[in-house]
Amino acid sequence: MGKFLPFYKKVNIFTKASEEARDFSRRLKNWLNSYAIESNIFENLAELESDKNIKGTDLLLVVGGDGSLLIATRRVAKYKVPVLGINLGRLGFLTEINADEAFEKLEEILSKPLCISRRMMLRASLIRNGKKILEADVLNDVVVNKAILARIVDVAVYVGDRYITTYNGDGIIIATPNGSTGYALSAGGPIVYPMMEIFLVVPICPHTLTDRPLILPNMEPITIELVHEEKDAWLTLDGQEGTQLRYGDKIVVKQSPYHAYLVRSPRKNYFDILREKLGWK
């Protein structure tokens, strides 16, 4: 690797809590410092969310897999900080570059204006007995399903104030285009170009075969209502945060006021990534 002239002054690092990721992050920090780029390593989310720590950050590097990137992106979205993932995981749809190519790619990325992909996020609110008890922004998906997968959960779904149907099955996914290559894809949903701004409604193993995935405009909220008493129904946000649901609970999903700003490799487009990750020819 030769010397390059960095375009940025402050590049922070959020690392997965593993020895491999910590090790790589320390190497990355030393490399950035050698180019007089200020850099700090964060593993604790409270540190990452601190105004003092995130202020002035030109770029956040996330060392780990897609899960680590989802966590970090949700926390810094309100600051509009661009995020670039370095993949130490397996599939890694969102983590743009792999560890073995990271330093070479970063030379190119950090020497010019960033190529940024603006991604829609969702805001999910859990309403219980008329009161909002939880609100969170997510990048990929909002999921209602059963902890015991052999059981069926019934959820009524509305767009705006209009009833769509009641889904009977393992659950339902409300996803962004960014999340279309996540759980929604495994459940039979379509792959959607990630910079579009629409909602995906994907039933999970529906009992009725005519219940198919829907693509809906993002202008009106989607409401999911638990219509029967269920002991093991859960709300899961981006596959990471879970809350047990009760009969009568409503989950209202709308577009978040925030967007995620994901950095793209200048030499790799979205379809290159699909071919690489899905083994397309």
- Amino acid occupying residue 170: D
Question: Residues 264, 109: contact at Cβ < 8 Å?
Answer: no
**Dihedral sign of CA atoms 77, 81, 82, 86 in order:** negative
The 10 Å Cβ neighbour count of residue 210 is 6
Among residues 23, 51, 58, 66, the one annotated as catalytic is: 66
**Dihedral sign of CA atoms 44, 48, 50, 53 in order:** positive
Buried b or exposed e, range 23-42, using 16+ CB within 10 angstroms: ebbeebbebbeebebebbbb
| Alpha carbon distances (Å) from 181 to 140, 184, 189, 193 | 9, 7, 9, 10
Question: Residues 28, 99: contact at Cβ < 8 Å?
Answer: no
Buried b or exposed e, range 220-244, using 16+ CB within 10 angstroms: ebbbbbbeeebeebbbbbbbeeebe
Closest CA to 28 of 8, 11, 45: 11
Active site residue 66: yes
| Alpha carbon distances (Å) from 100 to 87, 88, 104, 204 | 9, 9, 9, 36
Q: Which residues are catalytic?
A: 66
